[in-house]
Structure 1
Amino acid sequence: MTIRIVVAATGTDVGKTVFSAALTNALDGYYWKPVQAGLANETDAETVNRLTRVPESRILPERYRLNTPASPHFAAEIDGIEIDAKTLSPFGLPTPLVIETAGGLMVPLTRRLLQIDLLAQWRLPVILCASTALGTINHSLLSIEALKRRAIPILGVAFIGGENADSERTIATFGAVRRLGRLPRLDVLDADTLQSAFAQNFSVADVLDIGAVGP
């Protein structure tokens, strides 16, 4: 069975790119970010390449590379193009593929299409990355509800940040989703420290337990 997993987040700068790198490395798979908005600094694909040990050829090229760090629909308009959802079909590969979304679930890709609507077309299992900071309960439960309303399968929630056991338990309970683990913020972030932190806090077998996926 071809394994394709979408890594989404409750918002921007939660840490899903770092988590995507850790997951890609743990699965010895491929990574793909369909839409990259903002090219002035290190792109998300370049970050994943730096933080993993998978061959560079497994970091697949973005379908859209937009210059402005903004919502994809607006960044595309500035560049004079329109994102075509039909060109964003996930690859079928013999090894696992990790697909990273752009920003939060409700980010518009065009003036007519939200990112979550594209995920609803794909029907691929989603890992939701959530911060452990203040406000995460509200953001996470709203995101979980939005996924469930569209019958998008949820593998579980990956928390990122300092320990916040009550918030993590509350989100898992009210959202009726699995807590997959928590990736702490690392003082030194490189391929070695990230691989070690992921191995200590996550189980690949749990992540791939498709039978435990909730609607």
Structure 2
Amino acid sequence: MNAIFVAGTDTNVGKTHVCGLLLDFLRKEGVKAGYQKWAATGPEFPPADLKACLGMAGIPLEPELVGSQVVYYFALSASPHLAGEQEGKRVDPELIRQKYQEMSARYELLVIEGVGGIMVPLNRELLLVDLLQELKIATLVVAKSGLGTINHTLLTLEGLRRRGIPVLGVVFSDGASDEDDLLAEDNMRTIAEIGQVRVFGRLRRSPDPVKARAAFVPVGRAIALALEG
């Protein structure tokens, strides 16, 4: 296994935060790990997600590598199918396949960040999950800890499994404000039991990257064990 796909149950659930922490953890464990995102949208370039992940892992931005790390970039903050259309462009899965193969050959483990949820359209005929099904990449689900997460997470797990996509487990990520501990802990238990899935832990948001990295260590170890198994 030389790639792991990090899928969110929705947008803004903490995918980028988890990707950066996982990338940092793996590299400190001696794994030659790299980052890729198949499509990024938003006004900032180089894309904010790429800069955040590399920054968390202490990896310098290499301008010549950006086109392989982020295969498609569109300025409109929208789903890739619409953002691309506004620029007269269309996501071509063949280019993603090509860049995926190139980057996975470059690293021992490639961490691939998803785009919103798994059912996001890359173009009018192709969902993100369709490409993921074809490539059969082991998937880590990032879910928010608080209210509303049970439905979104169980639907995501069902969507992955119905397509035969291997699920590593779930990481829960707190929102910007403190989540209710009783609710968050029950959400984790409920999803683990009903979803029959491994729960790697819960990440509380911390503005201090040093504390965030330290808090991720047990989660990273659990993920690493799952990757080995």
- TM-based fold match above 0.5: yes
Amino acid aligned to 1:197: A
Gap runs ≥5 in structure 2: 28-32
Distance 2:37 2:166 in 1: 19
Distance 2:127 2:110 in 1: 22
State the partner residue of 1:51: 56
Identity of aligned residues (%): 37
SS of aligned partner of 1:109: strand
State the partner residue of 2:115: 102
Counterparts in 2 of 1:42-191, with a 5 A limit?
43-57=48-62, 61-89=69-97, 90=100, 91-92=103-104, 93-161=106-174, 162=179, 163=181, 164-186=184-206, 188-190=207-209
Corresponding residue pairs, total: 208
SS of aligned partner of 2:112: strand
State the partner residue of 2:213: 195
Amino acid aligned to 1:193: K
State the partner residue of 2:226: 209
Distance 1:72 1:45 in 2: 16
Amino acid aligned to 2:54: N
Tell me if the contact between 1:27 and 1:204 (Cα under 8 Å) persists in the aligned partners. no
SS of aligned partner of 1:202: helix
Tell me if the contact between 1:10 and 1:140 (Cα under 8 Å) persists in the aligned partners. yes
Q: Deviations over 1:65-90 (max 9, x none)?
A: 10101001000000110000111122
Offset, 1:147: 0.3
Distance 1:175 1:110 in 2: 30
TM-score (norm 1): 0.90
Distance 1:64 1:77 in 2: 12
Q: Deviations over 1:40-71 (max 9, x none)?
A: 37610011122222344587531111010100
Amino acid aligned to 1:9: G
Instruction: Give the helix-richer structure, 1 or 2.
Output: 2
Distance 2:216 2:80 in 1: 30
State which drifts further: 16-25 or 162-171: 162-171
Gap runs ≥5 in structure 1: none
Tell me if the contact between 2:80 and 2:123 (Cα under 8 Å) persists in the aligned partners. yes
Tell me if the contact between 1:34 and 1:101 (Cα under 8 Å) persists in the aligned partners. yes
TM-score (norm 2): 0.84
